[in-house]
Chain A
Amino acid sequence: MPEYKGMVQPLRATPDEMRKIFAEPVPDEQKPEKALEYLDEIRKKFRSFVVAMESCVKCGQCAENCHTYLGTRDPNNIPANRAELIRKIYRRYFTLEGRWFGKLVGAEDISLDVIESWYSYFYQCSQCRRCAHVCPFGIDTCEVTFIGRQLLHWLGITPKLHAAVGGAMEKVGNHTGLPKPGIIDTLEFMSEEIMDEFGVEVEFPVDKPDSDIIYIPSSADFLLNPYTLMGAGMFFTYIGANWCIPSTVTEAGNFGLLFDQYYTQRGNVNRLLNAAHELNAKKIVWGECGHGWRAAKMYVPSMADRPVRWPLTHVHDEAAELIRKGELKLNPENNPYPTTLHDPCNYVRACGLNDNMRTIIKAVTVDFREMTPKGEDNFCCGGGSGILFDDPEMYQRRIQLSQKKADQVRATGIGKDGHGILCAPCSICKAQLYPMVEEHDLGVEVKGLVDLLGKALVWK
């Protein structure tokens, strides 16, 4: 069902697909009542949500700062208005003025139509938090989208893509459904490719007990991003690390953050800690995945079911630290083309990776040009929070959502001659931008940052 009463919607998971991720769909006639019950429960727990419900004065600061609104010009995609889709229900049932004066104070009765509007608009928001970044009251509208999607999930409404990812994680420990033999075959292929192209011997150990480092790659790297995998393997080999990839968690992403923070996100966290425990690892190093790094860095300690005895770092943190100490010999000439950096939202607005990414990119390229705005002010790629839907209506919407990014890239002048590099060090950004740079005819190639680092390493 691509549309509901004129609103675009992603394909939704079937009841069977929902059951695979431990959610029991609620029958339509019970959905409004259940939605209220769940909303009541959740508002009592999350102060961040209540702040968003109670404090917004509709100043409009968020509107022009939201790439979704800029790309679609749909008023419901203004963050304040998107939040209003829930706020009007919150007001009707949980505030005095709403109970007494109803529509006069902007309150509305819950209905299936309202729930369907949540499904449309909370899955056009990419949870990028640029609106939160500019809100004078500090309202984090992403928290509202989180809760909107959580309510929908409990009602049994989740996109097919997100549910499939949850199901694959349950089954094999990654989002793309890669079983261990496939993982090993691809890693052996990577070793051969590194030997062919760079002439160095790099092994990718899997499930090696007593590894100092377990590296958590994004599983999309195994299908689409060869240089990200190769770059990480070369980096760990270069620094002489005792490392491995755990076959039970070949996934840096955690879609639980994006649609089900109760069961799915928590389950993934504990799966990770089990892997670290079983391999007797000393440290966990994260691969290129924006939302996944936020889920790991910011949520693992509070969601873990045990004390977390492993330091958790990002591969960019590791590399930047060594670059600052002068311990990596790098030749930026190996990345000769003009390069710009797309900042993954979760890295810069949630995890403080801003400086470290720049430390690396400036050391490994000869012609680095910032886009405007940059860093924590940067815009989302338009695919954030996994809204990588490819049914025709939603795909058209993705092109609109990436318009702002396309304008930013074009303004750098990179790609005019067809030789630019758009560095986008996150799997969702990559998956969104691979087709979008073609749709917008930008003349740039999309690469990760570890990709560029691997190429720049100078071997003894």
Chain B
Amino acid sequence: MSRSRCHVPPKPLPLSFSRGSLPSDGSSVLVILFETNPLLWSGLGGRLDGKESFDETLRQLLVYMIGFLSLHEQNRVVIIALHSNVEHCMYAIPTLASGENDLTNTGSKSDLCAQVISNLATLAMRMRSDFDLSTKSNMPLTTVISMALCCVNRARVYKPHCSPRILCILGSQDSSGQYFSGMNAIFSAKNSGVRIDACLLGYTDSFFLQQAAQITGGSYCMLQQGEKALYYLLSDLPGSESIRAKLQSPRKFCSEYQATCFCHEVNLQVGFVCSVCLTIFCERCRKCLACFADYT
């Protein structure tokens, strides 16, 4: 039942949203997490075989973004550069803060590209000073996903009816230390109705992102040829929600919910869980090794 609300005083905007059950007006907010790790793109990490060129992939990503912005006048994009030290390399195109930033005409779109490129140039300059080959190939993915979710939440304060999406384009490996907080972030995304799409560069699957895509109802694909990034992006990750509902995206999930025990770090299928601190053990013991609860 819809009701005219002209007489109702404007409701103060809620500061956070519980579920993604708000009716969408067709617009969306897209947060792109793009890996800029030099170790990955130079091929030194052994993940990419050098065929993918950073420039070409970035160029195609920008085309995708412009395509996305053209779909709806209220669409907004945020790009976060995913780097081994995230501290100085976040690039939010400030379309969210002002709320009413107009990106519909072509002039602003080229501005957008110019801004992304100039920001990347700044990042490259900074990196030159502290780049060394010992840079790890792991990425603080949890941090960046948490930040992306905060961006989405901020966007919803201004535009409560947009449907939000996070697109991860990266090629680095999962790091096991981030598992719990990462899962926590994924479930928060699910509860806020945020879809996480993952685009893997290279040939190795990311178990973490597979779960992220599966739990939040997003897509997961691999960009094996950087030259065709745009093709993959457009066909596997269509921008509009209404199109996505009609297309069957090529999902490839092999979700193995592997649990590892605390005591021997063995993968197991049946384990014993401490009722106090939820630590997993592979055999019965008298005392919890994590929280020292006494079972006797």
> Is A bound to B?
no
Q: Which residues of A contact B (CB under 8 A)?
A: none
